[in-house]
Amino acid sequence: MAKDIKQKEEMLILIVDKNKDLALITALILNEDILGGTIFQTFDRAYAIATNFQYIYPHDFDWEGEDIDFDEAVILFTKKVLEDEIQ
């Protein structure tokens, strides 16, 4: 019983961490204002891009030792998505 509770707590922490990371990524995209609209016009798009980013770079991805930092990676990823959509 105690083991089940511990596992559920760990799972909940994992979900919360993932959701906080997703919120942060979405906020970074919106903060850069590269989607060209109001927050109401762009939130769903930013959230979708953030979800795709998180699929490639999970919330527990270790950014140390990478050539690019987290903020830059989010913005470059977003710009690449937008460029791909134009082509």
Distance CA 45, CA 57 (A): 18
Domain assignment of residue 39, given as a range: 2-86
Q: Which tokens belong to 11? A: 């799972």
What are the C-alpha distances in Å from 24 to residues 2, 3, 43? 33, 32, 13
Number of domains into which the chain is organized: 1
Q: What is the pLDDT of residue 39?
A: 87
53 CB burial (10 A radius; 0-12, 13-18, 19+): buried
pLDDT under 50 in the chain at which residues?
none
End-to-end CA distance of the chain: 55
For residue 23, the Cα-to-chain-centroid distance in whole angstroms is 7
Q: What is the pLDDT of residue 2?
A: 74
